[in-house]
Amino acid sequence: MNSLLKKIQSSFLELVGSAIEILPGLIGGLIVLLLTYYIARLAEQFTSKVATRTIRSQSLQLLLARTSYIGAWVVGILTASVLAFPGLRLGDLIAALGLGSVAIGFAFQDIFKNFLAGVLLLLQEPFRINDQVIIEEYEGTVEQIDIRTTQIRTYQGERVLLPNSTVFTSAVQVRTAYGRRRTDLGVGVDYNTSLPDTAQLLKMTIAEVEGVLSEPAPEIDLVSFGDSSIDFVVRYWTLPEQKKVRQVQTRAIIAIKQAFDRADINIPYPIRTLYFYDQQQFDDYLPPSGDSGS
């Protein structure tokens, strides 16, 4: 019985001794992780300031800042692991990470897919922050391109977070990619209207609307014979932002209506002609009117 107690006591003392031996390493590892938290934030802020001064692209600025943040954490975690476990060599740790990367890749393939897509989006820059885009059924302004998601603020004031892999593989319509954008505004006139005079009036009217660019010049096209009107399309250019496009379109509609009123040009309502007749006189199954049926 005494020998068993001695053995238990000896094992306990060995365990306590081992814990005391590794305690400084654990404390050192925790201190390194704590310092890494602050160093990573400082590295991100410093890199962001330097990138802002030297690089014009906001996407690349963000990529460099996030890369410095992640890099600081990787170095800090590796250093803390070596301090906490003195028998663990840095080469062995890197080898273990290499072997475990396959299993981690399968487990977190969606996360890595979005991460790689985010890096490619930041490098290639198909669109930039503050660009107005349409991605699938979502339309709005790009607020942030992160490592995992792309954040869009819709025109209704809603936030949409799209996975980078979805953005990377979808068709993206960038509405503010160029310095100007064209609007096609349809308007119909009565069939009795002089078409050359109307076209000239439309061209003069749209050119005087505030917000319509002089270059490229507005164009007036006749496009079709409608059911109750001959249809024009007024093509003009504005600044590309959605708010500007809407405001100019409103002013254009008001100006055209006022110009037509002054020139006594009629914008016709849809017209339908209805015919009423007795269907029975066209019924082939009824006997002739002179036939009594006997």
> Would you kindly state where each structural domain of the chain is located, as residue ranges?
11-107, 126-174, 181-262
Residues 6+ apart with CB under 8 A from 242: 132, 155, 175
Say if residues 66 and 95 touch (Cβ distance below 8 Å).
no
Crossing angle of helices 90-107 and 58-84, in 10° steps, is: 120
What does the block give as tokens for 53? Answer: 């001064």
pLDDT more than 70, % of the chain: 73
pLDDT of 125-140, one tens digit each? 888 889 999 998 999 9
Does 216 sit behind a cis peptide bond, omega within 30 degrees of 0 on the bond before it? yes
Q: What does pLDDT average to over the chain? A: 81
Give pairs for 82-90: CB < 8 Å, separation 24+: 83/25, 83/28, 83/29, 83/32, 84/22, 84/25, 84/26, 84/28, 84/29, 85/22, 85/25, 86/22, 86/25
The strand pairing partners of 19, in sequence order, are none
Residue 57 has pLDDT above 80, yes or no: no
CATH number for the region 126-174 comes to 2.30.30.60
The DSSP line for 218-233 is PEEEEEEE-SSSEEEE
CATH number for the region 181-262 comes to 3.30.70.100
pTM above 0.75, yes or no: no
- pLDDT at position 7 is 61
Q: How confident is the model at residue 294 (pLDDT cuts 50, 70, 90)?
A: very low
pLDDT of 218-230, one tens digit each? 999 999 998 889 9
For 64, counting Cβ atoms within 10 Å of its Cβ (0-12 exposed, 13-18 middle, 19+ buried), the class is buried
Residue 86 has pLDDT above 70, yes or no: no
The strand pairing partners of 222, in sequence order, are 232
Residue 167 has pLDDT above 50, yes or no: yes
The strand pairing partners of 182, in sequence order, are 237
